[in-house]
Amino acid sequence: MQHWFLDSEFPNAEPQHSAFHVIPFPLEETVSYMGGTKEGPKAIIEASGQLERLVEGYGNPGSLGIHTTDPIPVNGGLVHAIKLAGNAMQYAMRCNATPVLLGGEHSVTNAAIDLFLDCGEVGVLQFDAHMDLRDTYEGSKLSHACVMRRVVEAGIPLFQVGIRNYSEEDLAAREQYRVGYYDASTLYRCKDLASLKLSPTFPKKLYITFDVDAFDASLMSATGTPDPGGLFWWDAITLLESLTEGRTIIGMDVVELAPNQLHHPSYTAAKLVYFLMGLACKR
């Protein structure tokens, strides 16, 4: 392995002595617009070498040990790759570590579904520009556009943040499965994002899936669908802090980075990953 997460500051810790397992999953099978997500995990890991050890307000999560695994092989087909990634996440849990999955396209979150079912009552907190609640897309039930449908079909509660693109099928599924949400238009009009909370009935254990197109296109151009009207950095941080208050984070993924000629999107994604580690330590 050429690089590991934050290799400028920490050794690649042994898996049994790590608080976090970073699992690169360079998946690019069902993208529907601009490609490049297979390069996302590598770009995040390389950019992480420029981060500082400390996360403002959250100390030094890297000191607890970060283990970066080899990338998940994707040449055996989508179903097999998802199974391998799921195994890696399960192994992280057996090591008492938090799995941190780096995509790749959003289909990688399918690998976490069995993890949710094994951990008792878990809710998924999704940051995204899209709902991803279609039943199938372009002939695939494992498409990036269907990944949250697979989550809710498994009986896992879902809450969506930052949505600003809609289809009739998505909206019908959101109503059918009683998905909670703070859409981008609501967030834009809110004068105090820190006041927004999850319902007290939402599960106390959370898995966070963060599609980088939740960020505004001016901040995150390196994704398949850079979309206007999204979150800026402190919007995202404030919402992550507020919505996870009083809860435990059992795992996370950051997906849909498609590196371009600009280096700041990869650095932003890496900084987000490290912030989420700090947040998980406190939560």
Question: 134 lies in a domain?
Answer: yes
Q: How buried is 248 (Cβ within 10 angstroms: 0-12 exposed, 13-18 middle, 19+ buried)? A: middle
116, 156 contact by CB (below 8 A): yes
DSSP string covering 225-272: S--SS-B-HHHHHHHHHHHTTT-EEEEEEEE-B---S-SHHHHHHHHH
Three-point CA angle 102, 105, 106, nearest 5°: 85
Q: What is the pLDDT of residue 32?
A: 64
Determine, yes or no, domain membership for 82.
yes
Domain assignment of residue 275, given as a range: 19-282
**What are the structure tokens assigned to 262, written together?**
């600009």
Structure confidence at residue 34 (pLDDT):
67
pLDDT of residue 44: 98
For residue 26, what pLDDT is reported? 97
Give the pLDDT of residue 11.
97
Give tens-digit pLDDT for 191-234: 999 999 999 999 999 999 999 999 999 999 999 999 999 999 99
- The pLDDT assigned to 117 comes to 86
Q: What is the CATH number of the domain that holds 47?
A: 3.40.800.10
Residue 29 located in a structural domain: yes
Q: Looking at the domain assignment, is residue 1 inside a domain?
A: no
Predicted local confidence at residue 183, as pLDDT: 98
Q: What is the mean pLDDT of residues 77-92?
A: 96
Flag whether 208 is in a domain: yes
Tens digit of pLDDT for each residue in 177-199?
Answer: 999 999 999 999 999 999 999 99
* Residue in 115, 98, 127 with CA at minimum distance from that of residue 156: 115
pTM of the model: 0.97
Position 118 scores a pLDDT of 87
Residue 113 counted as domain residue? yes
Q: How many separate domains does the chain show?
A: 1
13-35 pLDDT, tens digit each? 999 999 999 999 999 987 766 67
Q: What is the arithmetic mean of pLDDT over 162-190? A: 98
Closest residue by Cα to residue 103 from 120, 133, 128 = 128
Q: pLDDT, tens digit, for every residue of 40-66?
A: 999 999 999 999 999 999 999 999 999
The reply to whether 6 falls in a domain is no
Residues 228-275 have pLDDT tens digits of 999 999 999 999 999 999 999 999 999 999 999 899 999 999 999 999
Output the pLDDT for position 1: 56
85-132 residue pLDDT tens: 999 999 999 999 999 999 999 999 999 999 998 888 999 999 999 999
Instruction: Examine residue 8 and state whether it is found in any structural domain, yes or no.
Output: no
